[in-house]
Chains A and B, each alone.
Chain A
Amino acid sequence: MGLRSEPTAASAALTLRHVTKRFDGASGQVTALEDITLEVREGEFLAIVGPSGCGKSTLLSLLAGLEHTNEGTINLGDQPVEAPGRDRLVMFQQDALFPWLNVLENVLFGLRLKPDLTEAERIESARYYLNLVGLGDKERARPHELSGGMRQRVALARSLAPNPRVLLMDEPFSALDALTREQLYGDLQGIFTKRKKTIVLVTHNIREAVCLGDRVVLFSPNPGKVQQVFDIGLPRPRRLNDPALASLAAEVTEALTSHPAK
């Protein structure tokens, strides 16, 4: 039922080597990402932060296998990433819950695509993750009956339930109000510590990145490049208004604004 722990050695879960991604825009080719080399360690919470247009969401699509690199390679363990797969689940900016399914069925969606489970195991697993995000009593509700924060919690449960090797998060909190967001930071950190999941979070919110990430990778735009990597050594659980966190966030902001704007 997916409670086995992931290997804890500091090996790389995801390896990006010289990744370049270009798009054909209206005014010729646009380089979204240029020569990105990056490692995501097993069991690490990596936060990628940068201004809009720095290619961070593109990077996540590449990791998910929803898009392909023009140059360079992406490996999951020692396997190249070529297509979407259950080993890398994505949580999107909007919850992307299916309105024709109830909460439990939404969480079961990914589980039902795992062939080697019985239906009873799937339901047990789905309930486990719904309880983990604090929505054990809402399994019969329809997505539209839930608040935005609850929906995003269901989406989190849905992404965690098939026990992916890596969880990819594409600005999942940006559409939520500040209070709900802070609650979810707490929940997510709790789940992260408990489940030892490898997580890649993309965000434009620097405080969020510093609050959640073991490392924060700052991207600079036009074309998207790694500008700087920060190690965040703060103990967990971290609180958003902790002064130490605030000063680290200020440091990242400093680095971001010092980059010459184009």
Chain B
Amino acid sequence: MASKLPRPVIPTLVAILLVGGWEWYVRSGRVSEVLFPAPSHVLRWFWDSLLSGELLSATWVTMRRLVIGFAIGAALGVPLGALCARVRWVRDTLGVLALGLQTLPSVCWVPLALLWFGIREEAVLFVVVMGTLWAVVLAVQESVLNVPPLYLRAAQTMGSKSWHLWSRVIFPAALPGVLSGMKQGWAFAWRSLMAAEIFVVIVTGFGLGSLLNAGRELLRMDQVMGVMAVVMLVGLLADLVFFAPFERWLRRSRGLER
């Protein structure tokens, strides 16, 4: 019987049931609306802050920080990772350091970043870069080291060396690994940015994290939940629009997936 229904039917029904149940539960007065707002409250907040422009400007501020921080982290991480793979002593020093720093949640950098850069844009960017960089370095190092030696031998006998070998063989061969490293770096950057924005109010821009924190201070849980939903949505969209198509193309063109 279930097989005759189109696939989206059941998830939609479940979603309606869940949201409806939540709405009903809050409205029935069994829980304080202040602590646990109903979906309709969250939606109203969403609508109001969309109209006032508050939400869009906060999303813009956050996205800009994320994209710039991620771009810096990736731009530094790719050559550093390649260097780690290529040069033994760099791997033994920087590579090991990267391994250590990657395990450090980058929000731990916030106190230092604030002292070094002040309560300004640079401090947030620094935290985001720290979140991205090490994951990218390690992923690039790993995927370059894992390039099949056969490709290198074949290319070398055909006369490929140094920059040509890097740009035409090593990098394309390592690309799938580099891409998943970027994806991981992106996820880390996103988390570290949220943590940093909630942790400190940066005077140079009011981002989503600050909006969420403001909701807490005003005891507006509809705002907190709304921002949480937006944060999820942005994360999902980044993956769907940005990484997934590229990844699919990469896998398909190499026959890793059909």
Contacts and interface: CB of A to CB of B under 8 A. Distances in A.
Interface of A: 64-66, 84-86, 88-90, 92, 94, 96, 98-100, 109-110, 113-114, 142-145, 158, 162
B158 A109 contact: yes
Contact of A100 (B155, B164, B173): B173
Interface stretch (B121-129, B146-154, B207-215, B225-233): B146-154
Interface centre among B158, B164, B172 (most CB of A within 10 A): B158
Contacts of B175: 100
B168 interface: yes
Interface in B136-163: 150-151, 153-160
B254 interface: yes
Contact of A96 (B153, B160, B168): B153
A116 to B, nearest CB: 13
B248 to A, nearest CB: 15
Given A109-B158, A110-B159, 16 more contacts: A84-B157, A85-B159, A86-B158, A89-B157, A90-B157, A94-B150, A96-B153, A96-B154, A98-B169, A99-B255, A100-B172, A100-B175, A109-B160, A113-B164, A144-B255, A162-B159
Nearest to B154: A96
A137 B150 CA distance: 27
B157 to A, nearest CB: 5
7 contacts: A86-B158, A90-B157, A92-B154, A96-B151, A109-B160, A110-B159, A158-B158
A89 B157 CA distance: 6
Nearest to A97: B154
B164 to A, nearest CB: 7
B148 to A, nearest CB: 8
Contact of B158 (A89, A142, A143, A145): A89
A84 B159 contact: yes
B156 A66 contact: yes
B237 to A, nearest CB: 28
Given A90-B157, A94-B150, A109 B168 contact: yes
B159 A86 contact: yes
Given A90-B153, A109-B168, A98 B173 contact: yes
A88 B157 contact: yes
A66 B157 contact: yes
Contact of A110 (B150, B153, B158, B169): B158
A89 to B, nearest CB: 6
Interface string B168-195: 1100110100000000000000000000
B253 interface: yes
Contacts of B253: 100, 142
B150 A92 contact: yes
A88 B157 CA distance: 7
A84 B158 CA distance: 8
Contacts, number: 60
Given A110-B159, A113-B164, A96 B150 contact: yes
Contacts of A86: 157-159
A114 B175 CA distance: 26
Interface in B223-243: none
A144 B253 CA distance: 9
Nearest to A66: B153
A65 B158 CA distance: 12
Contact of B154 (A90, A113, A143): A90
A171 B155 CA distance: 18
A9 to B, nearest CB: 26
A246 B172 CA distance: 46
B160 A142 contact: no
B172 A98 contact: yes
B114 to A, nearest CB: 44
A121 to B, nearest CB: 17
Contacts of A162: 158-159
Interface centre among A66, A98, A142, A158 (most CB of B within 10 A): A98
Interface centre among A65, A88, A92, A114 (most CB of B within 10 A): A92
Nearest to A113: B159
Contacts of B254: 99-100, 142, 144
> Lowest 8 A-B CB distances belong to which pairs?
A144-B255, A110-B158, A96-B154, A113-B159, A99-B254, A100-B172, A86-B159, A84-B156
A180 B160 CA distance: 31
B159 A92 contact: no
Contact of B160 (A64, A94, A113): A113
A142 B154 contact: no
Contacts of B155: 109
Contacts of B159: 84-86, 110, 113-114, 162
Interface string B107-128: 0000000000000000000000
A64 B156 CA distance: 10
